[in-house]
Amino acid sequence: MSTIKHAVISAAGMGARLGLNMPKCLLKFSGTTIIQHQLELLKDIEDVRIVVGFMEKDVIKVAKSIRSDVVFVRNPHYQDTSNTYSISLATKGLKNPHILVDGDLLINKKSFFEFIDSFDGKNSLVGITNSSTDDAVYVEIDDSDKVINFNRNIKSKYEWSGIACLNNIIVNKEDPYLYQVLEKHLPLKAKYIECSEIDTADDLNRAQHLWPRYFV
């Protein structure tokens, strides 16, 4: 699977906007949790790291039952820190190319592997998807298929997917959101990936209708 040997799944958050009092990575679709779905996509990557925080014992138990060699990175400050803080803990000292995946994503298998295969190992790659979520970060793409801007106010065809292959980009915990880290390095190559982020009840309702397309 391309040149990527490291993957980080960010799954420390509480999912407060969804209001289910459980980590979003443990949501089930036809009996399959999101974390299982993601670990199966990442099965060929040697080093997989999952950042845990909220209900960490439950997440660790499920993940270990799927893949015993997963490395767990604890974020004890998950209630007061951002997703970027979690990622910074897991990528500290990591100099090789790696893929970052939000732990609340359903991802189409074929689309995921096309995304991975398009990464050349040198130029960081940003995953974009069709705009659909309630709290989207929209992306502006130029004629050469590069991201030239992120914004939350001006709706566009595509939004930031929560997936990126990074090389020579250091994620600092001071930045609240990952897209703000990426902004400092624009323009960045973009690649479409079919996925659904689950942040709100409406997002979950959409995912429940669409999930079969992500498990094929």
**127-153 residues labelled b (16+ CB within 10 A) or e (exposed):** bbbeeebeebbbbbbeeeeebeebeee
Residue 72, helix vs strand vs coil = strand
Q: Where are the domains of the chain?
A: 6-127+162-185+193-214
DSSP alpha helix (H) spans, 44-146 = 56-66, 83-91, 109-117
Q: How confident is the model at residue 174 (pLDDT cuts 50, 70, 90)?
A: confident
For residue 163, give every residue at least 6 positions away whose Cβ sits within 8 Å of its Cβ, in sequence order, or none.
Answer: 99, 100, 101, 102, 105, 107, 115, 127, 193, 195
Q: How does pLDDT run across 36-86, given as a tens digit for each residue?
A: 999 999 999 999 999 999 999 999 999 999 999 999 999 999 999 999 999
Percentage of the chain beyond pLDDT 70 is 98
* pLDDT per position as a tens digit, 137-158: 999 999 999 999 999 999 999 9
**Predicted structure pTM score:** 0.95
- Write down the CATH number for the domain with range 6-127+162-185+193-214: 3.90.550.10
